[in-house]
Amino acid sequence: MGKEKFSLENATIKSIHDAFTKNELTCKQLVEMYIDRIKENDKIGPKINSIIMINEDALNRAEQLDEEFKKSGLTGSLHGIPVLLKDNIDVTNLPTTAGSISLEGIKAERDAFITKKLKEAGAIVIAKTNLHEFAIWGETRSSILGQTLNPYDLTRTPGGSSGGTGAAIAMNFGLIGIGTDTVNSIRSPASACNLVGFRPTIGLISRSGIVPYSLTQDTAGPIMRTVEDSAKVLDVISGYDENDSLTSWSIGNIPKTYTKYLNKEGLRNKRIGVLKSFFGEKESHKEVNNIIYENLRKMKDKGAILIDIDENIDADKLIEDISVHLYELKEDLNEYLRGLGSKIDINSLKKIIGSGKYDKGIEKNIEVAQTLDKRMPEYNKRLFERRKLQNLVMEIMAKYKLDAIVYPHQKRPVVKVGESQVERNGVLSAVTGFPSCVLPAGFTNPTKTARMGIPVGIEFLSRRWNEKVLFEIVYGLEQSSKK
């Protein structure tokens, strides 16, 4: 087939591996194609501005994998598959900036646990992606790179904080995207960029080697084009890590493979609760609501049983009254920075603030975070309220005999550049620690700046360690939506 004829647009892990085995494509050719796309579209052309740095060693690694393939075939389940890592995830030969000039040039001494797992499966890290600085909010703007744009509407943000990963995957700059999520940050870019975003149960994926925001709520996860590829990546990056004690809870809760649950009839007889309080009621919410309701109709046609949830949950109140992210930022970030040793002068949140080397858009949040800590009564009150919320969600699921809960990820389309992200619902999964997945739901009506319309995401949440049921549901809906 040759490098020139292989299309990245509809590539999957399987299609790439098929091309390798048929000798129609090499790892080196594939990596070159992705890097060429980055060079042609990220800083020039549409100027998506999603890539902080390209891994100069990627082509060497691709050549090594090509040699290994000649001798023994595929070296792992992700052999030669290009990965885009959010730049708060450590890679030994690349700096980890967390999007901040204050950490520019700082390299970790070892790979993050999930980086190591990806490499062991044969994947190639080809670039680090932009994020909202220190993953603190949702527009994907940083002092190290600036504003990333949404490929579907260059006047809008790509969501955040993992918007660099989302925009880059949407632009076919790589096949595997890895983001992190403290409140909305995997699922927001997935919703805004027409992708699959999977936030797993807290403890399924290690956070060691990832710049933290709030270790009570932080997790990493895939941002991908398809549910099948999301399952394949989750197979690789999940599991116990002695450097993250929460992952010990995953033992006995991980199936041999999540791909076992990719059932085209996965919606049949699933009882799914529609969380009405997460739908907007204003004219500005109408387009999103209509798209979500159309998906609910598809779900019913595929055999799902939909039940309206009467209980009122207010997403904004969950952030204001329960989320602990700002209370944990200082201590969790400081511990990570101290772990970098003497190589870094700016080794605390206080010194970051004092340096002035950050985007001014995060100034209010980091200044507030500097005044908060885990010993405050309000922090412990929030943890107590978090437990009450977990119990409430479980009671709702028990009362209605639910397999999952469904709602729009964002009540109205992702915001324009320069505006702050609003009306997102991802906090329910983040605060409970329960798994959720955002799936492409459709597009708003076309506009002058969005010829296809603006992507809208539908979110499904289930109980702890119930990823397998989520995969059944989202795969069933994804397949029913394919023409």
Q: Is the pLDDT of residue 366 over 50?
A: yes
Retrieve residue 482's tokens: 């394919």
- Which tens digit of pLDDT belongs to each residue from 226-247? 999 999 999 999 999 999 999 9
Instruction: Give the residue-averaged pLDDT of 187-192.
Output: 98
Which pLDDT belongs to residue 481?
86
Which pLDDT belongs to residue 337?
95
Instruction: Give the residue-averaged pLDDT of 67-74.
Output: 98
CB-neighbour burial class of residue 418 (10 A; exposed 0-12, middle 13-18, buried 19+): exposed
Q: Is the pLDDT of residue 299 over 80?
A: yes
- Which tens digit of pLDDT belongs to each residue from 117-127? 999 999 999 99
Task: Give the pLDDT band of residue 483 (cuts 50, 70, 90).
Answer: low
Which pLDDT belongs to residue 39?
98
Q: Is the pLDDT of residue 3 over 70?
A: no
Indicate which residues carry an active-site annotation. Answer: 86, 161, 185
Which pLDDT belongs to residue 271?
98
Which pLDDT belongs to residue 4?
47
- Which tens digit of pLDDT belongs to each residue from 90-106? 999 999 999 999 999 99
Q: Among all chains, which residue has been given the structure tokens 């109980």?
A: 463
Q: Is the pLDDT of residue 343 over 90?
A: no
* CA–CA gap between residue 25 and residue 41 (Å, rounded): 23
Instruction: Give the residue-averaged pLDDT of 333-355.
Output: 92
Residue 96 contacts by C-beta under 8 Å, 6 or more apart in sequence?
A: 87, 88, 89, 90, 103, 106, 107, 108, 128, 211
Q: Is the pLDDT of residue 459 over 90?
A: yes
Q: Is the pLDDT of residue 2 over 80?
A: no
Tell me the pLDDT of the chain averaged across its residues. Answer: 97
Contact 84, 168 (CB under 8 A): yes
CB-neighbour burial class of residue 434 (10 A; exposed 0-12, middle 13-18, buried 19+): buried
Instruction: Give the residue-averaged pLDDT of 294-300.
Output: 98
DSSP-based three-state secondary structure for 298: helix
Q: Which of 451, 426, 479, 5 is nearest to 217 (CA)?
A: 426
- Which tens digit of pLDDT belongs to each residue from 303-320? 999 999 999 999 999 999
Residue 257 contacts by C-beta under 8 Å, 6 or more apart in sequence?
A: 231, 235
Q: Is the pLDDT of residue 181 over 80?
A: yes
- Which tens digit of pLDDT belongs to each residue from 399-455? 999 999 999 999 999 999 999 999 999 999 999 999 999 999 999 999 999 999 999
Does pTM top 0.85 for this prediction? yes
